[in-house]
Amino acid sequence: MKITFLGTGTSQGIPVIGSTHPVCLSTDSKDKRLRSSIMITWKDYRFIIDCGADFRQQMLRENISEINGILFTHEHADHTAGLDDIRPFCHKMGDMPLYVPERIVTDLERRFNYIFTQVNRYPGAPKAKIQVVENKNFNLGNKTVLPIEFMHGRIPIFGYRIDNFAYITDLKTISNQEKEKLKNLDVLVLNALRIEPHPTHLSLEDALNLIEEL
């Protein structure tokens, strides 16, 4: 299984428009980061976790012509705003499978009504089929996915574990029960927004403490 980091930036990307923060003024290529998303590939399968506003750019950069589906962690725009750009994939492959946490199905259907409506559909609109994700195992290709539920401030969201790999984004707090799902990993991808404490994200120190605990 191969993991490609499509983006590791904040909700506004790095650099932030108009910011004079030293990171945003940096010439280091590591400080040019798109919105957070990963691509998971194995055998003939290719899945994306989250498609923010940079989704089109990420797909062009990686020269991707086919994907088997998109998993969503939560509804925030930096994780969903690129959904319209599934159009080329739909034209080639048909309806796009979207693996959506049950809580945000209505939100996506409202914001992207033209994708899901059956009434007066625009001929060029993308087509998608929602697979509702609950906090229990589900199949993805020939693998099993284990959702991990945690809190992003007051918002419950999902991370995902496949084999001994887990992807956790926008975490602030997590129950002991859900931590058990993160034991015995080979690779853990975990958010660490900044050095200073943050009300809805782990800081670097918070993330290191959680890793040590696990």
Under the banding of pLDDT at 50, 70 and 90, the label for residue 66 is very high
Query: Distances in Å between the alpha carbon of 83 and those of 17, 80, 109?
Result: 22, 6, 11
Inform me whether the pLDDT recorded for 162 exceeds 90: yes
Mean pLDDT score, 89-94: 94
User: In this structure, which amino acid lies at residue 205?
Assistant: E
> 173: domain CATH number?
3.60.15.10
Inform me whether the pLDDT recorded for 118 exceeds 90: no
Burial class from Cβ neighbours inside 10 Å (0-12, 13-18, 19+) for residue 94 reads exposed
Inform me whether the pLDDT recorded for 120 exceeds 90: no
Total domains in the fold of the chain: 1
Q: What is the reported pTM?
A: 0.96
Query: Distances in Å between the alpha carbon of 107 and those of 13, 52, 74, 78?
Result: 23, 15, 10, 14
| Edge-to-edge strands, sheet with 138-140 | 138-140, 143-152, 155-162, 165-168, 187-190
What percent of the chain has a predicted confidence (pLDDT) above 90? 97
pLDDT score for 59: 98
pLDDT score for 165: 98
| Edge-to-edge strands, sheet with 2-7 | 2-7, 37-42, 45-49, 69-71, 96-101, 128-133
Give the tens place of pLDDT for each residue, 175-199: 999 999 999 999 999 999 999 999 9
Mean pLDDT of the chain: 97
Higher per-residue pLDDT: 123 or 1: 1
What percent of the chain has a predicted confidence (pLDDT) above 70? 100
pLDDT score for 27: 96
Inform me whether the pLDDT recorded for 129 exceeds 90: yes
Containing structural domain, residue 116: 2-213
pLDDT score for 183: 95
Under the banding of pLDDT at 50, 70 and 90, the label for residue 78 is very high
User: In this structure, which amino acid lies at residue 113?
Assistant: N
Give the tens place of pLDDT for each residue, 5-61: 999 999 999 999 999 999 999 999 999 999 999 999 999 999 999 999 999 999 999
3-state secondary structure of 189: strand
Which residue, among 171, 176, 149, 174, has the nearest Cα to 160 in the 3D structure? 149
Which residue, among 160, 207, 163, 209, has the nearest Cα to 185 in the 3D structure? 163
Mean pLDDT score, 80-101: 97
